[in-house]
Amino acid sequence: MARELFGTDGIRGVANKYPMTADMALNLGKAVAHVFKSETDYPRIIVGRDTRVSGHLLEHAIVSGICSMGVDAIRVGVMTTPGIAYLSWSVRADAGIVISASHNPFEDNGIKIIGGDGYKLSDEKEEQIEKYILEPDILKDLYPKPEDLGRSSLLEDARGLYIGFLKSTIPKHLTLEGMNVALDCANGAAYKIAPQLFYEIEAEVEALYAKPNGININENCGSQHVETLSKTVIEGDYDIGLAFDGDADRLIAIDEKGNVITGDQIIAICANNLKEKGELANNTVVTTKMSNYGFRIAMKELDINNNITKVGDRYVLEEMQKSGAILGGEESGHIIFLNHHTTGDGILSALQVLKIMKETGKPLSELAKIMKVYPQKLINVTVSDKPALDTIPEVQSVIEEVEAELGDRGRVLVRYSGTQPLCRVMVEASTEASTDKYCQKIADVIEEHIGN
């Protein structure tokens, strides 16, 4: 069926405008409660949020909807998305609901639902829930008696439970004593968790952007805006900088020289380390088609299989489960360590990098040499229509011409935006000059034939 609400990562929109309204959130709470109530006698649903001001409105509405169907709601307050995934299965809840728009600005918010096993729901279950959200009258005759209404409770030590889990992903004897770590918490869900965790494992911690006020989440900070963090690392002589996004499921690192270390580079570092230890399951790493060409070259040189998927962590996870891989992720810093967790976790990823630095005694800049990052150029061309690209001979011709000239020294990716009237032209080559030249060449032809 066509999905009106759920995208590839839950429901998103501008807060207090459809679909991010209190009415919709109330109906979502009812729908989720009904679907899981039909599967178990005494369901419990965890509800958590990031630091956006609109999170309070949506949280109360969702909890009211859950309780109105005779199901208990467990509130965890401000919590990261991977934290809610962990808590959902660790406290044996039947589902978890995350209220967050990740790296988006504060005006936006989103809702995603996690199963009691810590994994995102199947498309079929999301479609079932969406049906009840859009047709809430179906549930009217199923409201319980007053004595059977659900209850709302607060999980008092949710943060402590999650921090304990995170620490369990590194050896018990390993500490970060002697390491200076700068954190960019994006004024988001990691603002208390990350500083406390790194303090507990004996790092010297400087926490930046850890004072959320409801409207400053991701504002010129976090994994998409690392300029201040880079400057802080250089000026403060830190060993590493770690930048999370609003819900802390992503990580971008800064080495001791102030250089940005992307998700691809982090995956390459971890893949090499796991292979050296004989722990890289099926000698396979999963990434998306947007991964840097340099990553693919690095995997070939390391003799590691690199399975490639469509863009989106959902597809990465599906391929990891299919191929038996334990490591996969995206250039954006959404990295999944399936031997530890069910979803991408920025703080967990940071711990794995720090563990490697401690065990090898190498600085991050040295470890990052495992992969050369190819220069990349992206041009967004506004289009009047979106005909299949292979039906436009001139576009196909210029793409083939550029691919032939690049050979095995780069790549081309041309695709339409799924949400905007744009054609995205991305080229990677061995030099900045070649990258710019070839990208512009393709963009010009697209502009000529379908540009707006």
Which of the residues are catalytic?
102
Separation CA 241–CA 223 (nearest Å) = 11
Q: Rounded to whole angstroms, how far apart are CA atoms 416 and 387?
A: 10
Fill in the amino acid letter for 330. Answer: E
- Note the helical H segments in 38-122: 54-68, 81-90
Task: Report CA Rg, the chain.
Answer: 23
Strands (E), 370-421: 376-382, 410-416
Q: How far apart are CA 219 and CA 12, in angstroms?
A: 18
d(CA 201, CA 172): 10
Residue in 95, 9, 10 with CA at minimum distance from that of residue 314: 9
Contacts 24+ apart (CB under 8 A), 272-276: 272/302, 272/304, 272/370, 273/356, 273/360, 274/326, 274/327, 275/302, 275/304
Q: Which amino acid type is present at position 325?
A: A
